[in-house]
Amino acid sequence: MEVTALTLNCWGIAGVSKDRRTRIDAIGSHLQLGHYDFVFLQEVWVEDDFQAIVKQVGNIFPYSHYFHSGVIGGGICILSKAKIIDVLFHAWSLNGYIHKIQHGDWFGGKGVGLCTVVYHGMKINLYVTHLHAEYNPASDEYCAHRVVQAFETSQFIRYTRNKADFCILGGDLNTEPENLAYRLICDHTSLKDLYLSTGKPEIEGMTSETPANSYTASESLRACPNGKRIDFVMCSSRKGLQIETIDVNIPLPPRIPNYPFSYSDHEAVCAKFRILETQSVSANQKWSKDTSISSLKEALQVCDAALRNIANDRRNYWLAFGIFVVLLAALPFTYDGSRIVHYTLTVTHLLLTLVAVFCLIMATVWNRIERHGILAGKLAIVTRIQALEDS
């Protein structure tokens, strides 16, 4: 049988994303055309937007699921022509920082979602995910978080795919094909990046910060003139089945018809492939133990570096806490003279107290949460390496 899947990061942040309502309506209108069997959406942060899309496309996709998590929701959902018979969600142990409000990943409580469907007699696992964004390529403070997320995603898929005939992963991985997080997912799940099977040049598959997108900033184009390929449709099948890629393309036009802007700040990816019966092990099921061990050991180095940084951060926060406590102790608490001076002292005390409490929380509670998250990922990686070496 033939299957067509679409993934799109909708950039649907309330109050931040430009032209959100118009774009969400346009996305729904495109999905109404019925070109796809399964749709994987990310950054649908407003549940009303999800409900609006579902209402719009209900005659094409009668089945859908939104993965609720965190404070504002995970932002990920799946639309399906086939009935969804099972659902599971795994929230990652590391999801960014609570005090980085401008990034907001922690508040989304992101993870990887699974919907199981039966389509034309085949049991299919549909996975959707959205890894932590990079934000600053020069000093990627979230590298370890993204690596742990990628490893947990690969583990989640490995443990849940056994009874499926084939699996499809769609999502914004926020990592390019040469990066470690991408390799961790591919190396440990046997998932096949369908775009690579087309033989098309990498430049034709760019999905983020592309020159044709109306929302791409000029500074992004200067840093990366052709954009980045960070949105993927991947697939794997059980023994006895083979995946044959028909085409992978960017299906949406550069602009919404009759509007001067794009559907999102990301490009959608459409993958069409065929499922064939075969007596041999298909190419996407061939797996290199050495390659897997190599990527896992590289992930260990990232975790070790992150643990060292966390220890340094803990010392710095304790030092800052001590400095602010000393400043508080040095300032008089009352002043009988000028009212302005009295109010200034009061405000200064309040600000110093708030900053000192913040440093205390970061040095204790938050530091241990992050340390335990990375340590848990590291120990799981070590266990996996040992199992592979012994096999």
Residues 248 and 331 grouped into a single domain: no
Cα 183 from chain centre = 15
Please compute the mean of the pLDDT values over residues 93-110 and round it to a whole number: 80
Top pLDDT among 127 and 141 is at 127
Whether 285 is covered by a domain: the verdict is no
Tokens of 291: 């390659």
Give burial (CB, 10 Å; 0-12/13-18/19+) of 178. Answer: exposed
Q: Across-strand partners of 130?
A: 172
Residues 325 and 307 grouped into a single domain: yes
Residues 58 and 168 grouped into a single domain: yes
Whether 377 is covered by a domain: the verdict is yes
Q: For the chain, what is the radius of gyration of the CA atoms?
A: 24
Whether 246 is covered by a domain: the verdict is yes
Q: b/e per residue, 283-312, with b = 16+ CB within 10 A?
A: ebbeeeeeebbebbeebbebbeebbeebee
Cα 380 to Cα 90: distance, rounded to the nearest angstrom? 16
Q: How confident is the model at residue 28 (pLDDT cuts 50, 70, 90)?
A: very high
Domain of 244? 2-280
Cα 271 to Cα 254: distance, rounded to the nearest angstrom? 18
* Structural domain ending residue among the three candidates 262, 280, 298: 280
CB within 8 A of 201, min separation 6: which ones?
none
* pLDDT tens string 305-347: 999 999 999 999 999 999 999 998 888 876 666 778 778 888 8
Instruction: With CA atoms as reference, report the closest residue to 273 among 192, 216, 344, 349.
Output: 192
Residues 259 and 159 grouped into a single domain: yes
Residues 80 and 219 grouped into a single domain: yes
Q: How confident is the model at residue 280 (pLDDT cuts 50, 70, 90)?
A: low
Residues 82 and 118 grouped into a single domain: yes
* pLDDT tens string 287-305: 578 888 999 999 999 999 9
Check pLDDT > 80 for residue 227: yes
Please compute the mean of the pLDDT values over residues 218-234 and round it to a whole number: 94
Please compute the mean of the pLDDT values over residues 62-74 and round it to a whole number: 89
- Residue 176, pLDDT score: 95
Q: How confident is the model at residue 285 (pLDDT cuts 50, 70, 90)?
A: very low
- Residue 292, pLDDT score: 87
Q: What is the DSSP letter of 131?
A: P
Strands (E), the chain: 2-12, 38-44, 63-66, 77-80, 84-91, 111-119, 122-130, 166-172, 192-193, 231-237, 241-249, 269-277
Please compute the mean of the pLDDT values over residues 376-383 and round it to a whole number: 92
The single residue listed with the structure tokens 């679409």 is 6
The single residue listed with the structure tokens 């991985």 is 173
- Residue 283, pLDDT score: 44
Q: Above pLDDT 90, what percent of the chain?
A: 75
Check pLDDT > 70 for residue 252: yes
pLDDT, mean over the chain: 91
Residues 240 and 318 grouped into a single domain: no
Residues 150 and 75 grouped into a single domain: yes
CB within 8 A of 381, min separation 6: which ones?
151, 296, 299, 300, 303
Tokens of 292: 């897997």
Please compute the mean of the pLDDT values over residues 206-218 and round it to a whole number: 96
CB within 8 A of 272, min separation 6: which ones?
2, 3, 4, 245, 246, 247, 248
Q: How confident is the model at residue 97 (pLDDT cuts 50, 70, 90)?
A: confident
Q: b/e per residue, 239-272, with b = 16+ CB within 10 A?
A: eebbbebeebbbbbeeebeeeebbbbbbbbbbbb
* pLDDT tens string 150-205: 999 999 999 999 889 999 999 999 999 999 999 999 999 989 999 999 999 999 99
Residues 334 and 305 grouped into a single domain: yes
Residues 98 and 239 grouped into a single domain: yes
**How many structural domains are present in the chain?**
2
Contact 180, 298 (CB under 8 A): yes
Check pLDDT > 60 for residue 286: no
Q: Is 130 a catalytic residue?
A: no
* Structural domain ending residue among the three candidates 280, 305, 326: 280
Q: Which is it for the CA torsion 185, 188, 117, 249, positive or negative?
A: positive
Cα 213 to Cα 82: distance, rounded to the nearest angstrom? 32
Task: Spot the catalytic one: 68, 120, 266, 349.
Answer: 266
Whether 39 is covered by a domain: the verdict is yes
Contact 269, 233 (CB under 8 A): yes
CATH number, domain of 175, equals: 3.60.10.10
Residues 261 and 342 grouped into a single domain: no
- Residue 96, pLDDT score: 82
Whether 112 is covered by a domain: the verdict is yes
- Residue 284, pLDDT score: 43
Tokens of 198: 């087309």
- Residue 174, pLDDT score: 94
- Residue 282, pLDDT score: 46
Instruction: With CA atoms as reference, report the closest residue to 207 among 183, 182, 227, 177.
Output: 227
Whether 242 is covered by a domain: the verdict is yes
Check pLDDT > 60 for residue 281: no
Residues 213 and 244 grouped into a single domain: yes
Strands 77-80 and 38-44: antiparallel
* Structural domain ending residue among the three candidates 252, 280, 308: 280
